[in-house]
A and B are shown apart, each in its own frame.
Chain A
Amino acid sequence: MDIPYTVTARPDTGLWNAKVGIWLFLASEVMLFGGLFSAYVFLRLDAPPGRWPHGLLNVPVGTMNTAILIASSVTVVMAWASLKMRRFARYKLYMGITILCGVIFLAVKLAYEWPEKFVHFGAHIKTEALEKYEPYLGNKHLLATGHEPRNKITGHLHNHEALHDPNVHEYEIALDKVNADPTNPESDRPHFWPVHATDKVAHVDKKDVKFAGMFLPNFNTYFATYFTITGLHGLHVLGGVLVFVYLWLPVGANLYKRNPEHLANRVEVAGLFWHFVDLVWIFVFPLFYLL
């Protein structure tokens, strides 16, 4: 059986069928991401003042990934345009670059950005113990300069056994700069370049800690929303790449020989999905990385 209207327009809709199909699908995708974003907005608005974390992600790397995704949106539309002009070699080239961009984006996310968080440690200090850790928190300075107080000590955990062993009574942490030098005005605002953990070591008593752990989804609401939304977005990138690879393989060439317009339409539809994924990232990037 032949699927009708893959190339010619259906009289009543004025469109070939896949175009209607992809837009209906994208409409449902808008609702999917809309649900997650509205949850994010709700959680963020309801967070106590000053408690929503900032500057925990690597901004240069995030910016680079944003640029890569934008570049891939350009190349996929160029791949489509090449097919429209019947330049198959160019199509292969542009599609290849698009696939490469998608793979780089995913690799950066899965091999660098996420794992970097998984090994970062933080401890939420109990309210009654905040005074004791004042040298690491600098709350007097923050109060005096009109900033929101800190309640977390973060850095590189030296004694990982402390996470599981009840006989270990303290966390030994190589402090992040913000806790090593808390009264430095430099630490009041997030920075473009990531700051690495210092050599200064602090011992934090487990009794004074409300919750401690690695930067995983359960660390705080921020990371819960970050991993959920970037995770779902990453799955979309993966899905897009798989479709592009399929269209780039000989399957694409064979279809091109039979009916080039059909392949152009398939690429257009896959491209529409890809642009949507790019569009979602345009909102993810400032919300999670910058603000």
Chain B
Amino acid sequence: MDETHEPIGADAAVVPDDGHAPDEHAAHDVAKHIRAYLMVGLTLLVFTAITVALSYINFGTQKANVAVAMLVATFKAGLVAAIFMHLSNEKRMIYRILIFTAFFVLGLFFLTYLAWYDPIVR
């Protein structure tokens, strides 16, 4: 990932003069985040390699291996959600939607668990 820092407005010719020029502050904010985006991308690639490597190590049982892989995957997913999807710094409305989603998806997996853990047969 090469990132040459050209000065802001390097291709100023295409910036339309319609009163929508970037707010200096906002543009500066975004520029600051670019480094973070690249670092997260790199971290995700490294952890992909780690996931592959871990899958060839025997953690005792297959379940333990799956648990380790899911732990790494959850960490990676968290990075994507927090940084790429801006969830680390989002408006309250979005969090409200996601709290409901988390509740229902956990409920869904809990139902699956109940269906599997059938106490009458087992």
Contacts and interface: CB of A to CB of B under 8 A. Distances in A.
Whether A and B are associated in the same complex: the answer reads yes
Interface of A: 13-15, 19-20, 23-24, 27, 30-31, 34-35, 38-39, 41-42, 45-46, 59, 63, 66-67, 70-71, 73-74, 77-78, 81, 84-90, 189, 192, 256-261, 271-272, 275-276, 278-279, 282-283, 285-287, 290-291
Contact of A290 (B6, B12, B52, B80): B52
Contacts of B94: 15, 19-20, 23
For the complex of A and B, 4 pairs with smallest distance between CB atoms: A74-B41, A290-B55, A286-B69, A38-B112
A86 B21 contact: yes
Contacts of A66: 48
Interface of B: 1, 6, 8-12, 14-16, 18, 20-22, 26-27, 30-31, 33-34, 37-38, 40-41, 44-45, 48-49, 51-52, 55-56, 62, 65-66, 69-70, 72-73, 76-77, 80-81, 84-85, 91-94, 97-98, 100-101, 104-105, 108-109, 111-112, 115-116
A211 B31 CA distance: 59
A286 B70 contact: yes
A211 to B, nearest CB: 24
B11 A286 contact: no
Nearest to B29: A84
Contacts of A59: 52
B80 A279 contact: yes
Contacts of B65: 291
A287 B51 CA distance: 11
B77 A279 contact: yes
Contacts of B66: 287, 291
B37 A74 contact: yes
Contact of A78 (B34, B92, B100): B34
Contact of B104 (A31, A73, A257): A31
Nearest to A28: B101
A148 to B, nearest CB: 10
A78 B37 CA distance: 8
Contacts of A19: 94
Given A27-B97, A41-B116, A286-B70, 16 more contacts: A34-B109, A42-B112, A67-B48, A73-B41, A81-B34, A85-B27, A86-B9, A87-B8, A87-B9, A88-B15, A90-B11, A275-B84, A278-B84, A279-B80, A286-B55, A286-B72
A35 B112 CA distance: 9
A271 to B, nearest CB: 8
Nearest to B43: A70
Contacts of A24: 97
B101 A38 contact: no
B101 A31 contact: yes
A70 B27 CA distance: 25
A27 B93 CA distance: 13
A13 B91 CA distance: 8
Nearest to B69: A286
A14 B10 contact: no
Q: Which of B9, B66, B72 has the most CB of A within 10 A?
A: B66
A150 B51 CA distance: 26
Contact of A291 (B62, B93, B108): B62
Contact of B14 (A27, A30, A89): A89
Contacts of A192: 52, 56
A96 to B, nearest CB: 15
